[in-house]
Structure 1
Amino acid sequence: MKITTLYVYPIKGLRGIEVEQALVGPQGIQHDRSFMLYERKPTGPLKKMQLSSYPQCALFSQHITRDGEQPPAAAIVVRHHKPPASPGDDDDQAETTIRVPLEPDISALDRIDVDLHGSPTRAYRLGDVYDAWFSARFGFPTVLVHIGDAKRAVLGKSLLPPAAQQEPQQQKGWASSLASYITGSKAQSPLAWITFTDVAPLLVTSETSLREVSTRLPEGQPVDMYKFRPNIVVDGEGEDEWAEDFWAELRVASQDQQTKMMLLLTGNCARCTSLNVDYETGKQAEGELGTVLKKLMKDRRVDPGVKWSPVFGRYAFPETGDGLVTVAVGDEVEVTRRNAERTVWDWPGL
């Protein structure tokens, strides 16, 4: 097999960026999901913003620039795409984009408590300028936060890579060390942690399985892979559809067979209503493309740990050694270990 596409999502929930190559470390693709938007309610905690409940996130594209012509030199340029027939199409055209510093100076930012899927952390608030820009376009108060040096715990046990799957008394110590890190009482790093990725650093999908999904829709209406929001897409050559359900380990190598990294695939990706979103309108797609999730419900609810949700793709933890490795479209991918049975989801409450 080969890698056919790579995606990175600097600001979680917005459109992804397709790249030819990427730097990958223990926490996945560099800068992936290092920023996130939350809705600020009049009372109560901040509410996470993701495509499933905020489909209008699809109206925002993003790309990374290091051109240095405008400050900050390294930035995420976010563009708001107004949906067709949107009122006031001629308004605010000069402010349809905003530059977010790719690596902000966290020493100058306020800390803020946030939660994602029951795994809390103390992130960094980018500031009023960014909050106001997004708030004006969403139509309600939002907060843009950066993960900085914060860490989120991987909950449950099944999703952890093998090195972090310890005996109960050891696991308790691991969880305690992460809690201490988050609250600042210890400068101790846990064995496995994540940023604003959902439950693991990477998501791997297969084009072979995508083709099978497209057969469920009328001819001429294929499902696009970007709807599934993966990081690494492989062509699936030599593998049956849905074979990835049983993948436990992948070897990623350059074309001269020099190993770049191993991927430990630990959990299934349970899908949600984000599959039904039309990225041009920021709403549920019309017709058959608005029923993709329902079509998968028929026979892809294969994980008893999330029995009401269909599965597409596998979550992965990369083994890259001490630093970052460059992976690229065209890299060879080999299945080096398979599970006899599908893994079972155990992230609590999700």
Structure 2
Amino acid sequence: MASVAELTYYPVKGCAGTSVREAPLTPAGLAHDRSFMVVGEEGVGRTQRRDPRLASIRPTVSADGGRLTLHAPEFETLELRVDTAADWFTEVLGVPSRLVRVPPEHDRVTDGRTPGTSAYADSCALHVLSRATLDLLNRKLAERGLPPLPMNRFRPNIVVDGWDEPHTEDRAHRIRVGDTELGYAKLAIRCAVTMVEQDTGAKAGPEPLRTLAGYRRAAEGGVAYGTKYAVLRTGTLSVGDDVHVTSWGDSEL
């Protein structure tokens, strides 16, 4: 039986995640997931594509979302109300920055086969990846004499263990986990963020994109790795919850 092996939410888009044993699942994904974003002077969101040092920032958010604590190597930890972070992010990233937050009344509609909503996530509410999928990539990297990559390089919200076949998440079109239900939206098309070492914020490369391009090219371009889901029924997710696939479909790769 497949089960939830890891749960991670990312309070600030692009920054490090917070791993938990249990989390409320809202219509927009795990509670507090990507509810904050760092923006530049023109209001454009910062991501690891241009600011890989975001990965080294480790935010934690209070249960009510009212207080944010920010950690970064070699910088003083900052604990604050959520509207006073601009100077800290500017100093850590070395470019003028400020912090914005998704308003509670937001009505963003996400795309894909199953529409839904999300906060500042690139597209859908949840990113799901299985250990079998990562194991396959690491075997292919080993064949090329390259070291394995950790799961956090791909920044999933839910890691599933127990699926024997790699990329089973591509074909699991409706999933029941605990008292929640997820609907398949689309494959996750990967970008240069996968080349950033998540523990240090250092940009590596060209892996894993070079190896993925050899077996995971998507029809619309780029490489697909992992799957995006919309939330069909809210509830609570816990590490160890059984993962039941209630509807299967063909892979879109």
After superposition, give the CA deviation of every residue in 1:215-273 in whole Å (9 maximum; x if it has no partner): 122478321111111111101x24411222122111113xxxxxx01110111100111
Give the equivalent residue in structure 2 for 1:117: none
Q: Which runs of 4+ in 1 moved over 4 A?
A: none
- Runs of 5+ in structure 1 lacking a partner? 67-71, 83-92, 105-125, 162-191, 254-259, 344-350
8 Å Cα contact 2:51-2:93 kept in structure 1: no
- After superposition, the Cα gap between the structure-2 partners of 1:73 and 1:226, relative to the gap in structure 1 and judged at 3 Å, is closer
1:61 aligns with 2:58: yes
Tell me the residue number matched to 1:233: 159
Q: Name the residue aligned to 1:52.
A: 49
Give the match for residue 210 of structure 2. 294
Contact 1:59 1:80 in 2 (8 A): yes
| CA displacement 1:14-57 (0-9 Å, x = unmatched) | 000111110001111111111000111xxxx4222111221111
Identity %: 26
Match of 1:135 among 90, 101, 122: 90
Displacement of 1:280 in angstroms is 4.3
Aligned to 1:14: 15
Summarize the Cα distance change of 1:155–1:73 in structure 2 as closer, same or farther, 3 Å threshold: closer
Deviation string, structure 1 residues 175-199 (Cα, Å, up to 9, x no partner): xxxxxxxxxxxxxxxxx43211111
Whichever of the two has the greater Rg, that structure is 1
Contact 1:61-1:81 within 8 A present in 2 as well: no
Q: CA RMSD in A?
A: 2.3
Letter in 1 for 2:190: R
Q: Is the 8 A contact 2:114 2:229 kept in 1?
A: no
Q: Does 1:202 align with 2:182?
A: no
Is 1:17–1:63's contact at 8 Å kept on the other side of the alignment? yes
2:167 matched to which residue of 1?
A: 242
Q: Return the alpha-carbon distance in structure 2 between the equivalents of residues 245 and 52 of structure 1.
A: 25
1:315 aligns with 228
Equivalent residues of 1:284, 1:290 under 8 A apart: no
Say whether 1:273 aligns with 2:186.
no
Matched AA of 1:312: Y
Per-residue CA deviation, residues 137-196 of structure 1 (Å, 9 max, x unaligned), is: 11111020011225253355x3443xxxxxxxxxxxxxxxxxxxxxxxxxxxxxx43211
Structure 1 segment 137-216 matched on structure 2, within 5 A: 137-151=92-106, 153-154=108-109, 156=111, 158-161=112-115, 192-216=116-140
Change (3 A) 1:242 1:341: closer
Q: Measure the CA separation in 1 of the matches of 2:211 and 2:163.
A: 25
Does the 8 Å contact 1:6/1:232 carry over to 2? yes
* Contact 1:263-1:317 at 8 Å conserved across structures: yes
Q: 2:69 aligns with which of 61, 72, 77?
A: 77
Residues 206 and 244 in structure 1, CA contact (< 8 A), matched pair in contact too: yes
Question: Given residue 142 of structure 1, which amino acid in structure 2 is its aligned partner?
Answer: S
Matches of 1:7 and 1:315, distance apart in 2: 14
Deviations 1:306-338 (A, max 9, x none): x1x111111111222xxx522100000011111
Distance 1:281 1:233, change over 3 A: closer
Question: Higher helix proportion, which one?
Answer: 1
Q: Distance in 2 between matches of 1:37 and 1:17?
A: 17
- Separation in structure 1 between the aligned mates of residue 9 and residue 95 of structure 2, nearest angstrom: 26
Report how many aligned residue pairs link the two structures.
250
Q: 1:340 aligns with which of 243, 250, 253?
A: 250
CA 1:281/1:290 → structure 2, altered by over 3 Å: closer, same or farther?
farther
Q: Normalised by the size of structure 1, how large is the TM-score?
A: 0.66
Q: 1:47 corresponds to which letter in structure 2?
A: V
